[in-house]
Structure formats: structure tokens, C-alpha cells
Structure 1
Amino acid sequence: MRIVFAGTPEFAAVALKSLHEAGFEIPLVLTQPDRPAGRGMQLQASPVKQFAVAQGMRVAQPVSLRLDGKYPEVAREAHELLQSTPHDVMVVAAYGLILPRSVLDIPKRGCINIHASLLPRWRGAAPIHRAIEAGDAETGVVIMQMEEGLDTGPMLLTGRLPIAADDTTASLHDKLATLGGGMIVEALRKLEQGVLEATPQPEAGVTYAAKIAKEEAALDLAQPVQVIERKIRAFNPFPGASATFNGVSVKFWRAVVAAETTTAAPGTVLAATAQDGVLVACGQGVLRVTELQKPGGKRLPAAEFLKGFPLEGGRFG
């Protein structure tokens, strides 16, 4: 079976690697254009492009696929490339571009998406973040037949995964990427054999995982401690949850719900020691912060952070 693959970040690169190692023919890879990154803001290829180039795969990086969009000539060239590239199916994983009907109709067997949630819960751009933030007990991967709606297509395969109490978006991402890589190979094998069955998504339980905005990083310490702790894990590694201390933005990278109770005002630093970490009063409960970062500094365990940034007796805004 010949596959056109469309994807951009590491989640997609894991799937591309799985398909390559499984022996599928991949005559074309689509990925987002190179973007500035790092301190020097040098152009950097996506993880998918890096893997594809290393394997000698043909790569295209159109900025749009919409013939009626801002870049119709670019989209037309991309359509012509897809139409002239012999393939049976397109596999899509966190590509980042909308696939219009004109693209969905090109592959003989349609377009199949690897989505990191238990659909119909968390359709949209940030399903891993939102599942952790909401306190979901489990998540998973759905292999889905694509249609024009946002993650509305019928489900082909479902894999479930528990969310651990200490999972961050980074750790859960890696688990789901590995799960998705194995599942897409299984799905395509079943498609080859003619035994891949589609199931419509339930109408009940639809939620949307909106894209993460940097503004969400600012913690409201008047919220219950459980809500704050989940946000810290959900926003690790991006955008990084933060609170201000004497006008300085301090990022909270790791924290747990403490056993202590308090009647102090939210944001009050109850303790800040090498032994206890940083205990912060919340609207309901106490947060124990164990890894922090000041602007321009490194992520540090609380004991190391406090050597250069004392907090005891102060209050986070």
C-alpha cells in the first residue's frame, strides 16, 4: 500500500517512523514550512521533515491547501503534486493545515487521521493538554476516517491509555505517540485485508480542545489547588504555568497537592525550604511546588531555586 503522509511535530514523526519501519511505500511527505526557532531564531525543519529527509523521502511544504484561500497558486501546485503521486491513502497526524474536500477526495481510500483523544471527547487542536487540565482519568488514540468537519469522521480503531497522576503533557504525548504509531500500522494492515470497519462517533459527549494560548499560563491561585496542579501538568512543556512574585514571573514546572491546610490568602508562601519545597496557599488547599524557573534561568528543583531566589514570607500575585 502506497501512502502520502502529512504531519509536522514529533507526534507525527513517530507515526511516520512506524510506517517506514513496517515497510509501507511512502512516495511523498507533506509537512509545515520551516519555522524560526531557538535563541537565534534560525529556520528549523519540522521533526517530520527531518526524519523524511534522513530516509530520502520526497518532501513538500505548502503553506496552504485551500484553492479558495490566500495562496491559491501554492494550493494548486500542491493539488497537482498529490494527483500526480500514485498513492492509495493519505495518513494525517497533527499536520496543522486544513484539508479541504478537494484534497480529501484525491486518495483512492481517502484520508486517515491519528487523533490523540477518545473521540468525540476533545476534538480539536490540543487534546492532550485539555484532557490533563480537565482531570480525565483516561485518554487514548482514535484512528479516524477524515471528512470536512473538525475531527467528526467515523472511527476505525480505538486505543485507551490511563492518565497517571504525575503525567504532564510532555510525558503523555510520548505515550500517545507510541500508541498511535502502532495503531496506524495495524489500521493499514486491516485496510489492506479489507477488514477495517468504521463506526460513527457518538452524538453525546462532544467536547472541543481549543488551541493553547500563552495567556492561559498565568495561574489564578484563588482557584482550588487540584485545578491549579492539573494546569501546571497540562502546560508542561508549553506554555509553562506561571505566577508573579514581586513583579517577577516565576514558572511552576512541577507541583503536587500538599496535605497541609491553611486559611491564608491565596498566593501566600507558607514555607520555602530545601526540605519542604515551596508551599503556596490556594483558594482551597495548599500547593507544594518542587520545580521552578525565573526569567532567563534554568528549570531548577526548589532547593536549588531558593538559593538564588528566596520566597519565604512573600506572596505570589
Structure 2
Amino acid sequence: MSATALRVAFAGTPEFAAVALDAILAAGHTVPLVLTQPDRPAGRGMKLQASPVKQLAQQHGIAVAQPHSLRLDGKYPDEAAAAREALQAAHADVMVVAAYGLILPQWTLSLPRQGCLNIHGSLLPRWRGAAPIHRAIEAGDAETGITIMQMDAGLDTGDMLLITREAIGADDTTAALHDRLAALGGRCIVQALAQAAAGTLQATPQPAEGVNYAHKIEKAEAAIDWHLPATEIERRVRAFDPFPGTTFTVHTAPGKDKDEVVKLWRASVVPASGQPGEVLRAEGDTLVVACGEQALALHTLQRPGGKRVAAREFLQSCTLPASLA
């Protein structure tokens, strides 16, 4: 191992984390142990599926631990104790954490010689918490980025080690921004590890002002409130792509088929007005719905069990009432 390489334990679960692990390995660091969430049922057959991080670790022959919890006094003390033994045996210089999904107790934070570094998908302290990419788009932020943070016992409260900014485009979805930030996170953590190996990594405390919490996205947030301004609804459409999507209900006439919950995947703001939820135009390839302020042109929609289609195809297959409210 070269003088600039470190022994890096890694904790992460989804694709965002797998991109970072791949970058760490490509940079020549030794990864003796990976922690990731237990396999989960997925797909139509609901078969157990390994996380993207576990799949990558197995491709590289890296030992994997999958405890349900790391709390020694919690519901799974044996799993936590086994994970601690594995981490102790790994003799890691540092642990990198990216979208792991479990709370790290103090014993975990203190065990590696240089502690735990977190790859956080926002410009701290603007968005702490579980869904910083979604919430940045939903709020209409002009930029976001990656913060490499020295983890402490708080929720994303540790000192900042490295910050890199990324513009949010006017048509960015969470899916698109996620992929750019995942790649950026990989580059940033490699840079931070190089500085850590050289002893030049410097910490800056987070400002006390400007703290927001990016709460986890709930399915209940998907339903569109047409009383909101069109700009807010349009941002939410992009923020909730690919999950959970934004939805509206098409109420059918009595005696007809049951109501349908339609997903809206792409829309744009147009200078029109009417009662919130009023269908202002529904012909050809144009579908416009009034909002609390201005109106929304609906471009890409999806009926239950169907695929995403343009407004023209949607209108050919669905008769809309005068109002969606």
C-alpha cells in the first residue's frame, strides 16, 4: 500500500454510496470491510435483494457486515457486537459513510483512527437530514452540492471538511441531480482522503444560522394541492421524480369506472388563471390546469398500470372532468 493510501472502512447502502465506494477503490485505497443494510425484498417476486453497495463489495471480494442496528444496547445486540468486532479487526484508518441508513453510535464514530467522514448531498447546514436532494429542488434552491463532514453524535452537525457546489437546473429532477451528486461525491471523498493521508484536511464548524431539516419524503406528500402556486407544484413534480411521484385524482361520473389516481411526471408553468384545479384546456397535445397562482401545463403523465406518456396520448385515453380539485 502506498504512503498516500488509507485503510478505509465503508458504510453505505444505495447507488449513491456505491458510486463513492467505487471511486475509493479506484483511487487505490484498501477497503477491508463494508457495512450495509440487510438484504430487502424487491421486485415483483419480492425476492431478497442485496444493496448496490453489497453487490459492489462482493465483486471486489470485500468482507460485508449487515447488522440491523449498531446499538449494543438495542434490539439486535449480537449483530451490533459482531459488527464492532469486524470493524475492530479491520484496523481502519478512517470510515467513510454515505447514505448508510443506520444511526452510528459513539463507539463507531470513535473507533477508526481518523473517525468517520460523511458524504452529504447538500451544502451544510442548508439541508440536514434524510432527503436533501429532494428538498433542495422542492424549495427552489439555485444550487446544492456535496459536503464532506467529520461525523459527530448529532444529525449532520459535524465540522465541514470539504465543500463543492453544483448548480440546480430549471428542469432538474431528483433522479438527474442525484446522479450528478453521486459522481461529485465520489470525486470529493477521494480528494478528502488524499488530504487526510497528507495531514492537510482542515475542519470548519458549521454556521449556526441557516439550518433546515430535509425530512424523509412521505407518500402522503404526493397528492397535488391545486390551490398552491403553479411554481411550487412544478418544483414538487421534479423533486418527487422518481419517488414517490406527484399525483392527482380524476373523479369519474356516477355509474362510470372508479376514480383514477394519475401520476404527473413533467409540467411547466404557464400564464393563465382560473379556479384551482379547473381544466382550462384539454385538446390535442395541450393540457392546462389552473392553480392558486397561474396555471400548469401537464406534459408527461401515467395512468394506473400504464407507462409514462405525453399529454396527447393521455388525453386520447382519458376523459377529464371540468375540474381536478
TM range (shorter): over 0.9
CA distance in 2, matches of 1:274, 1:233: 24
1:314 corresponds to: 322
- Measure how far apart 1:84 and its partner are: 1.4
CA distance in 1, matches of 2:308, 2:25: 36
2:122 corresponds to: 117
Q: How many residues align?
A: 313
CA distance in 2, matches of 1:79, 1:316: 54
- Measure how far apart 1:272 and its partner are: 2.1
- Measure how far apart 1:303 and its partner are: 1.8
1:148 corresponds to: 153
1:197 corresponds to: 202
Find the partner of 1:137 among 142, 164, 168. Answer: 142
CA distance in 1, matches of 2:311, 2:203: 50
Find the partner of 1:291 among 288, 291, 300. Answer: 300
CA distance in 2, matches of 1:56, 1:16: 13
Q: Does 1:239 align with 2:247?
A: no
Identity of aligned pairs, percent? 61
Aligned CA-pair RMSD: 1.0
Q: Pairwise mapping of residues 174-253 of structure 1 onto structure 2 (< 5 A)?
A: 174-246=179-251, 247-253=259-265
Find the partner of 2:65 among 60, 64, 89. Answer: 60
CA distance in 2, matches of 1:43, 1:240: 25
- Measure how far apart 1:274 and its partner are: 3.6
- Measure how far apart 1:316 and its partner are: 1.2
- Measure how far apart 1:163 and its partner are: 0.5
- Measure how far apart 1:307 and its partner are: 2.2
1:99 corresponds to: 104
Find the partner of 1:272 among 279, 282, 295. Answer: 282
1:12 corresponds to: 17
CA distance in 1, matches of 2:275, 2:250: 14
Q: Does 1:41 align with 2:41?
A: no
Normalising by structure 1, we get a TM-score of 0.97
CA distance in 1, matches of 2:111, 2:56: 25
2:266 corresponds to: 254
Deviates more, 1:35-44 or 1:200-209: 35-44
- In structure 2, the CA distance between the partners of 1:274 and 1:17, relative to structure 1 (3 Å rule), is farther
Q: Given residue 239 of structure 1, which amino acid in structure 2 is its aligned partner?
A: P
Q: Given residue 100 of structure 1, which amino acid in structure 2 is its aligned partner?
A: P
CA distance in 2, matches of 1:207, 1:291: 31
SS in 1 for 2:188: helix
Q: Given residue 97 of structure 2, which amino acid in structure 1 is its aligned partner?
A: V
- Measure how far apart 1:192 and its partner are: 0.5
Q: Given residue 310 of structure 2, which amino acid in structure 1 is its aligned partner?
A: P
Normalising by structure 2, we get a TM-score of 0.94
Find the partner of 1:163 among 148, 161, 168. Answer: 168
Q: Given residue 268 of structure 2, which amino acid in structure 1 is its aligned partner?
A: V
Q: Does 1:300 align with 2:312?
A: no
- Measure how far apart 1:12 and its partner are: 0.4
- In structure 2, the CA distance between the partners of 1:314 and 1:39, relative to structure 1 (3 Å rule), is farther
Q: Which runs of 4+ in 1 moved over 4 A?
A: none
SS in 2 for 1:223: coil
Query: Structure 2, unaligned stretches of length 5 or more?
Result: 1-5, 252-258
CA distance in 2, matches of 1:18, 1:90: 14
SS in 1 for 2:314: helix
CA distance in 2, matches of 1:65, 1:231: 35
Deviates more, 1:155-164 or 1:70-79: 70-79
- Measure how far apart 1:80 and its partner are: 1.1
Deviates more, 1:93-102 or 1:292-301: 292-301
- Measure how far apart 1:287 and its partner are: 0.2
- Measure how far apart 1:205 and its partner are: 0.5
SS in 1 for 2:136: helix
Q: Given residue 276 of structure 2, which amino acid in structure 1 is its aligned partner?
A: P
Residue-by-residue CA offset, 1:35-64 (whole Å, 9 max, x unaligned): 111122111111111111122211111110
SS in 2 for 1:166: coil
